[in-house]
Amino acid sequence: MDDQACPRCKTTKYRNPSLKLMVNICGHALCESCVDLLFLKGSGSCPDCNVPLRRSNFRVQLFEDSMVEKEMDIRKRVLKDFNKKEEDFATLREYNDYLEEIEVIIYNLVNNIDVVGTNKRIEQYKKDNKELIMKNKAKIGREEIELEEILENEKQMEEFRRQEIAKMEDEAKKQKIREKEALIDELMFADGDAKDILNTFAQTVANKQEEVVPLLPKVTQFSSGVKFTRGSSQALPIIEEGPLYKYEPLEIPDRCGPDPPSLEEIMKNGFLHHVRAENETEKAGGYTSTLPCLRALQDALSGLYHAS
């Protein structure tokens, strides 16, 4: 590790213990300060091979051999598209051929053999298997979520068990202290034989141990099976449920006049013959001639009884 050095500024691990080498997709390393310097604007080209790079794609170099890093990058990229599963093939042979093909592609890209042709091959594959790729991507996403859920579940169970044990221990300790005190009290104040008292106490202790109350498991899902939380630790707000809503018809204020006809009466009794009928456009907008008719009649009758 001592000879690890930035190829650009020649700083070594020895001279700068906090030296961090970063790699990008081309596999050439740069130290963190050089990255900061060269990629001030977010993008630039690799000083070794002149490949255009983005700053956001830099990551810490994990392996000493930068070729491994490069391969990891390429593999990640290729596998994003070559995401078929064994189930997608009829025979094992075909699946193996497919895996072989992937390895060939990756090898070619890593060692710069026929890069153009290989990239064409990838493009071709992408075009041919567009739907399958999408489907498998979604499937992988789902599987990841499921996995996460299982992990979460296990974590919860673990937590629950731990709590249970702690609680039991605590309870037992308290119980012991209490019994001891009771026994001493009894021995101090009772008139009976001390041996008898000791015997009865030993009896009750034995009985009690049997009736340890099992703890209720913590509820972690709704009755529908949906988890309270998924990933995030946010608690759901508790909604207080009041009494059920009961419909009460609106109170009609005193009209101070004769009662106007209802909507049904307006339609039945021929009031509509004397108002302009709505046209098709207005009907589409939800307008009917009954409403203005009703309003005019209501306005006419409201307030007729008004007395100063």
Partner 1 sequence: MFSTSSQRKFWTFNDESELARHREKHNLEFISKHGHHIDEYQRYNFFLSPDEERLLLKQYELHLKEFCKRFAPPMPKGVVGTAFHYFKRFYLYNSSMDYHPKEILATCVYLACKVEEFNVSIGQFVANIKGDREKASDIILNNELLLMQQLNYHLTIHNPFRPVEGFLIDIKTRCSTLANPERLRGGIDEFLEKVFLTDACLLYAPSQIALAAVLHAASKEQENLDSYVTDMLFRDAGSDKLAILIEAVRKIRSMVKMVESPARERVRIIEKKLDRCRNEENNPDSEIYKRRMRELLDEDDMPHSGSNRMSLDTSGISQVLSPSIFN
Binding region for partner 1 (CB under 8 A): 253-259, 269-271, 273-275, 293, 295-308
Nearest distance from residue 297's CB to partner 1, in Å? 5
| Local structure of residue 87 (DSSP, 8 states) | G
The answer to whether 15 and 28 are in contact (CB under 8 A) is no
Contact 23, 58 (CB under 8 A): yes
Min separation Cβ 294 and partner 1, Å: 9
Spatial separation of the C-alpha atoms in residues 47 and 28, rounded to whole Å: 9
- Residue whose entry in the numeric block shows the structure tokens 């015997």: 199
- Which residues is 227 bridged to in the sheet? 221
| Closest CB to partner 1 among residues 254, 280 | 254
Range 66-70, long-range pairs (CB < 8 A, 24+ positions): 66/23, 66/27, 66/28, 66/29, 67/27, 67/110, 69/23, 69/27, 69/29, 70/23, 70/25, 70/26, 70/27, 70/110
Closer by beta carbon to partner 1, 44 or else 261 = 261
CB 281 to partner 1: min, Å = 20
CB 250 → partner 1: shortest distance, Å?
Answer: 13
